[in-house]
Amino acid sequence: MPGETLAVLTRDLALLQSVKALAADNRIAAVSGESDLAGELLGRHAGVAIIDADAVTTPIDQLTEHLKAQLPDVVLIVAGRLDGQGALAAQITKGTVYRFLHKPASEQRLRLFVEAAWRRRNEEFAAAGAAAAGPATAQRTDPSRNRGGVSRVIMVLVAAGLLAGWLYLRKSDSESGPAPAAAPPEVPAAPSAPSRTTPALTAPARDQEPDSLLDRAEQALAAHRLDEAQKLTDQARSLGPGNVRVAFVAAQIGKQRERLLLTQARQAASSGNVNQAIAVLDGAARGGGQSPLLAQARQELQRKQTSERASDYLELAAARAGQGQLIEPLQDNALFYVESARAVAPNDPAVLQAEQQLADRIVTEARKALAAGDTTQAQPWIDAADEAAVSRDEIGALSRELQRLKSVAKADAMAKLSGLFNQRLADGHVLEPPADSAKFYLAQLAQADGSHPSTVLARQALAARALDEAKAAAGNGDSAGMQRWLDAAREAGADEAAINAIVTSAAAAQAPPPQEASLQQVSPPQQPSAQQVSPAQVPQQQSTGFVPAGALKLTHYVAPTFPVAARQRGISGWVDVQFVVRADGSVSDVSVTGSQPVGMFEQAALDAIRKWQYKPVQKDGHGVEQRARLRLKFALEN
């Protein structure tokens, strides 16, 4: 009605500013307390009232029930959060509360709600005026009309007295109760300093750790206990803000809540209970019964309300579609609002047209992602198509193309990894470097698909190469290197019999401990100079007829003397020698075939080996000469 007041009870500055921006043609009466609201409703001509559930201390359902009973002409809108909708489901169904506004509310959604409330107010006023037209005409000629006016004044005063009395009693109860009224959210109380007697905090119990809480939340979600799951997830978020599972579980809760909301609304709309469907879509599906039968005017208003409600959702859907928000964010996307409109008016031509247009656009986006080979982006579009009005044949075709692309991508990835593996194996980078070796790429292949032919062949190739390297290390007397290669071969799945054969052969050829000087390196050996002989440069002809000295039995050992100059300078090194074990077991023809550093340890090695004695080598019952070779290592002990 022109000139009427819009009353707002809130402490939310953002909500109040949005209301003031929308109400250009009406006066705004803003209050922050329930008693102030009563005064505004009684003292002004208020037609619509917005009550913020966060700003009241009385249970919201009791407050709205009393206000509607005392002031039935006022259209009530309650603003609140999702968890506060259930208490008003029954009142929304029977019309005590006109709408429930989700907070935080966008300006566009707030405009829709306020304009719809004024239309509701105007229609009710017009209906009341038409009903009173006859009595009003008679009253103009009735001398008792002044008494009627006085009666109306008395009724208003009585209503005001009743409401004021109720508020006084409520205020008295709250003053005598143990809990004071909540402070406005804009002025949070400063934290008090802890008392000296405050006990020390203890570590949280195992069932209060974030992961444990999330496990319980998932169990509650599987049992469709959404409120319990939400509470556990909120606790986990407060204990572990950085836990990556929190966002995932919260998204699953939201999606299940959205689906449950839409399913309940569709069932309500299909049964003809439109008010209940609207209440469900406002998040209050737990309550609500069958709406009472109304007069023909009420039924017409209900029909208009349903049409306007669907139009509101379609406007929101069009706005989100224009912003590209077809399926995200959750509960604020084009698909959600189209489905909401369908729940309110499932047979409305505009709703069916919007539903088909959105389905076509979702299919287009899915095809674009598939054409670009982006399987990650294509999956959510195909999932959305399953929820929208897309045919089963179309969804099947999209799903098959997605699986084909995934297979192609997997084959390409396996081929690339296999090529890298083969290249590193050919280059000799079998185990090193750790993140770019044949072993590394075999692990990548196994992670992608352990049973893939490329993985099987790579595993066999690495095992064979590791066994060959282990044999070579054993032949050079490098027991540490042999063990490293054997470990790699075993990890690649090499045959245990082949591994044991190498170990047995190396044990048989291992030199007795006295044949090498004690080794305990205290500083790294110097790099060989150009004139020094590397072990890899031992003449090949020495191997003909030679056996490792470790294969012979040493009966008399003389330890090499560590050169004083090398000890003073902290130098370590090695000497390769070859010699002949005579038929009587003595050593002769001792010669140096390689050393590092050159000129440092050769004489000490020769002097010691010439004094060794071996058990004669027997052939056909007679002692024979045997050529042998050996590497002596020199290192300082700690």
The tens digit of pLDDT for each residue in 35-77 reads: 778 777 766 667 889 999 988 888 888 888 888 887 888 899 9
Q: Which of 62-76, 270-284, 390-404 has the lowest mean pLDDT?
A: 270-284
The CA distances from residue 342 to 338, 376, 395, in Å, are 6, 30, 21
pLDDT for position 501:
85
Q: Is residue 322 part of a domain?
A: no
Amino acid at position 582, single letter: R
Query: 310-323 pLDDT, tens per residue?
Result: 888 999 999 999 99
Q: Is residue 27 part of a domain?
A: yes
Q: Is residue 19 part of a domain?
A: yes
Q: Is residue 405 part of a domain?
A: no
Asked if the model's pLDDT at residue 172 lies above 60, the reply is no
Q: Is residue 109 part of a domain?
A: yes
What b/e sequence results for 120-140 when a residue is b if at least 16 CB atoms lie within 10 Å of its CB, and e otherwise?
bbebbeeeeeeeeeeeeeeee
| Domain match, 575 and 543 both | yes
Q: Is residue 369 part of a domain?
A: no
What is the pTM for the complete model shown?
0.31
| Domain match, 94 and 33 both | yes
| Domain match, 415 and 494 both | yes
| Domain match, 465 and 579 both | no
| Domain match, 528 and 566 both | yes
Give φ, ψ of 455 to 5 degrees.
-70, -45
Residue 561, phi-psi category: left (phi > 0), alpha (psi -120 to 50), beta (remainder): beta
Query: 73-117 pLDDT, tens per residue?
Result: 889 999 998 777 778 888 888 888 988 888 888 877 888 888 888
| Domain match, 445 and 565 both | no
Q: Is residue 553 part of a domain?
A: yes
Query: 243-254 pLDDT, tens per residue?
Result: 778 888 888 887
Confidence of residue 137 (pLDDT cuts 50, 70, 90): very low
What b/e sequence results for 427-444 when a residue is b if at least 16 CB atoms lie within 10 Å of its CB, and e otherwise?
eebbbeeeeebbbbbbbb
Q: Which of 478, 509, 540 is the last residue of a domain?
A: 509
Q: Which of 271, 290, 306 is the last residue of a domain?
A: 271
| Domain match, 102 and 235 both | no
For 519, the 3-state DSSP assignment is coil
Copy the structure tokens of residue 101. Answer: 């506004």
- The partner residues of 595 in beta bridges, in order of sequence, read 533, 575
Q: Which of 462, 483, 509 is the last residue of a domain?
A: 509
The CA distances from residue 132 to 48, 136, 147, 154, in Å, are 22, 6, 17, 19
When the pLDDT of each residue in the chain is averaged and rounded to a whole number, the result is 76
Query: 217-239 pLDDT, tens per residue?
Result: 989 988 889 899 999 999 989 88
pLDDT for position 304:
63
| Domain match, 166 and 235 both | no
Q: Which of 156-170, 274-288, 492-506, 596-610 has the lowest mean pLDDT?
A: 156-170
| Domain match, 172 and 64 both | yes
Pair 72, 100: CB distance under 8 Å: no
Q: Is residue 277 part of a domain?
A: no
Supply the CATH number for residue 608's domain.
3.30.2420.10
pLDDT for position 46:
74
Amino acid at position 97, single letter: V
- What total number of domains does the chain contain? 4
Query: 489-542 pLDDT, tens per residue?
Result: 999 999 888 888 888 877 766 544 433 333 332 333 333 222 223 333 333 333
Supply the CATH number for residue 167's domain.
3.40.50.2300
| Domain match, 169 and 214 both | no
Q: Omega before 185 cis (within 30°)?
A: no
What domain range includes position 165?
A: 5-130+156-176
| Domain match, 163 and 51 both | yes
Helices (H), 73-222: 89-94, 107-131, 133-141, 145-176, 210-222
| Domain match, 527 and 417 both | no
- Give the 3-state secondary structure of 177-217: CCCCCCCCCCCCCCCCCCCCCCCCCCCCCHHHCHHHHHHHH
Report, in this order, helix, strand and coil percent for the chain, each rounded to 5.
60, 10, 30
